Homo-oligomer: A and B are copies of this chain.
Amino acid sequence: MSRPYDLVIENGTIHTPSSSFKADIAVLDGKISAIGGPFTEAAKRVDAKGLAVLPGLWHVHCHFREPGHTYKEDFQTGSAAAAVGGVTMCIDMTNNTPHPTTLEDYEMKKALVAPKAHVDYALYGGGLYPRTVEALAKAGAIGIKIFNTRHIKEVYPYISELGVLDHGILFELYEATRDMGLVASVHHDDPEWCKRLTFRDYIDKGRTDAMAYHESFSKGYMYGHGMVAGLAASLYYARICGVKLHVLHLGVMPKGANEMVHHAKYDLGQDVSCELELGTMFMNRAQMEKVGPRTYNWAYDPEAGWDAIKDGTADMIVLEHAPHSKEDVDPGWKDLFSVPLGVTGAQEYIPLLMNAVNEGRLSLNDVARLAAEAPARRFGIFPRKGVIQPGADADFTIVDMSREGVFRNEDMLSRTGFSSWEGMATKGAATHTIVRGTIVAQDGKLVGAPGFGRFVPGTAASA
């Protein structure tokens, strides 16, 4: 051998979407150099005996609040939380000010976050102006994120500004996205519906406290039937346009949405994917009552989510990370309709997911597919990432399936300083988060430095 490997991960069991097997992994120059062994010469060795070695897991729905709302989170704190949780790759969703809806603002965001990331990341372009989509795509947007929504009280101004409610503009965004070969990722909604019914039955009656909000959520008012109706129209437009549609927030929407996506995919053959929001499957009533405004949803129908994994409706999974400060959300105990909504998820995602694996809800092979290979394929980054294969980036999430833990606010790296999941116990957690061959977090501690994480451009990026 001409030169020793930079890193060898040894004695572990590798889990891919199709198989589980024991093999060592040798890394050179940040890439997977070889799988198998024996790999005798290595600058560094990680002993994964008794551990599960997964392809680096993606978090596809991060709101790291940069720029504009960095008092809630910034790319450093957000990506640090993700890294410690076991995430190797983040896709950041744009909903801040200024929004990356123009080339200038996209480039500004790229520049701002470059020194801060602990893990690799991609950035959505903000879909607002059809005419800027081409420039965003060439600047490296991983996809075009469209907010087909407004908050019913517009208390969340950055979403309202980004809201594309005119279906003519939505369609032109689809055309432009299709022409660049990217994925259009859409938060669907029909806010008129949501607004009217919610005001009528809750706000206008003075029922605004956190439990009233959660009741309205479980009735399909907040984040409810309006999302499904918006999806219904969008699926049709996407089909006649020919754009690759990526449906966000499956699992949050009432299950009519699942039926629609399944029908589009399997009966109509439409090119549509979707990500399943795990939060609605994990957040139970007790936790919801405890954290109140620190969550905006809970598991009123979790089986619909698990079914979506089994029957192929869901392509990816994620635990959305939409952080706010305590000061932002805690007034929600009194009026949850008037505060910004979100859950924390970057750090809690993998432990909650591994806990579900331990409960038999899905397998580690499923995780490798849903949280690594599928997003890498859909966003065009496969086989650079998302797979354990020679030549791929040496991204790994190494997991100890027997490690137990309890979420504590004081352990959270997010700037929020709290966890929506505070006090919940889990079994199964990441021991090593490895990005391009470098350990960036280990045993719950951040190891790497900000700025290590690299920007991963989308498929239409200029050379």
Contacts and interface: CB of A to CB of B under 8 A. Distances in A.
Interface of A: 1-2, 17-19, 21-24, 26, 32-41, 166-172, 190, 192-197, 200, 220, 225-226, 228-230, 232-233, 235-237, 239-240, 254, 256, 259, 263, 267-268, 373, 382-383, 387, 389-392
Contacts of A23: 389-391
Contacts of A32: 36
B166 A192 contact: yes
A80 to B, nearest CB: 31
Contacts of A39: 34
B256 A240 contact: yes
Contact of A166 (B18, B33, B196): B196
Contacts of A34: 26, 34-39
Given A166-B192, A193-B237, A228-B236, A35 B38 contact: no
Contact of A232 (B41, B226, B232): B232
Nearest to A198: B168
A229 B167 contact: yes
A347 to B, nearest CB: 30
A421 to B, nearest CB: 31
B240 A233 contact: no
Contacts of A197: 168, 171
B193 A18 contact: no
B168 A192 contact: yes
Nearest to A392: B21
Nearest to A269: B311
11 contacts: A2-B38, A19-B382, A23-B391, A26-B36, A34-B35, A34-B36, A37-B390, A168-B195, A171-B196, A259-B268, A263-B267
10 interchain residue pairs of minimum CB distance: A168-B196, A34-B36, A36-B390, A23-B390, A232-B232, A229-B233, A167-B193, A166-B192, A34-B34, A168-B192
Contacts of A383: 19, 21
Given A18-B373, A233-B233, A239-B256, 18 more contacts: A1-B41, A2-B38, A18-B387, A21-B391, A22-B390, A22-B391, A26-B36, A33-B38, A34-B37, A166-B196, A167-B196, A167-B226, A167-B229, A168-B195, A171-B196, A190-B233, A229-B237, A263-B267
A1 B40 contact: yes
A258 B234 CA distance: 17
Nearest to A199: B168
Contacts of A167: 190, 192-193, 196, 226, 229
Given A192-B168, A193-B168, A390 B229 contact: no
Given A21-B391, A236-B256, A36 B35 contact: yes
Contact of A389 (B19, B236, B237, B267): B19
Nearest to A263: B263
B236 A229 contact: yes
Contact of A235 (B169, B232, B235): B232
A384 to B, nearest CB: 10
A18 B55 CA distance: 15
Contacts of A387: 18-19
Contacts of A41: 1
B196 A225 contact: no
A237 B263 contact: no
